[in-house]
Amino acid sequence: MVDVVAPAVRSRMMGSIHGRDTQPEMRVRRYLHAVGLRFRLQARDLPGRPDIVFTSRRLVIFVHGCFWHRHPNCVYASTPSTRPDFWQAKFAANTARDAAAVAKLQELGWRVLTIWECETKNELLLDALAWSILASKESRSSVGQASSTL
């Protein structure tokens, strides 16, 4: 299938995709800040460079895009019809890198939460995220257990 836009336009479109300060990430950050939670951003010293870090709670949050990180059973996690082998390899590498980062963080004693792009539009899910963060301070027994997905 032939691309419907010129290569220069496609290049500009792909170049506008950023790894930080995305709309879903900003939604989550604004909500958490509004409920009184304070956090670090983009911790380069941690595996996978989590989007949001609560150091005192030993808790990190990844805000994953449904398309790039392959949200299971999500309509936004479609695969482009052009060059499917390339895209499958790219998506497989992304998910493998995500899993390795989560495993390493858990090994270091961090609790890992993931919120998906499509979930950031639902205020009830953001509220559930905030409550799980607030509860993490009280229940230290959950530190180092399996990662959670909202």
| Span 123-150, pLDDT tens digits | 999 999 999 888 876 544 444 444 555 6
27 within a domain of the structure (yes/no): yes
Q: How far apart are alpha carbons 58 and 103 in whole angstroms?
A: 14
Q: What is the dihedral of CA 137, 110, 45, 149, to 10 degrees?
A: -90
Domain hosting residue 47, numbered range: 18-149
Domain-embedded: residue 11:
no
The answer as to whether 129 is a domain residue is: yes
State how many domains the chain has.
Answer: 1
Residue range 14-68, pLDDT digits in tens: 777 777 778 899 999 999 999 999 999 988 899 999 999 999 899 999 999 898 8
The CATH number of the domain where 129 resides is what?
3.40.960.10
Tens of pLDDT, residue by residue over 60-98, are: 999 998 988 999 999 888 888 888 899 999 999 999 999
25/61 Cα distance (integer angstroms): 10
For tokens 């590498």, what's the residue?
93
**What angle (nearest 5°) sits at the alpha carbon of residue 86, between those of residues 85 and 87?**
90
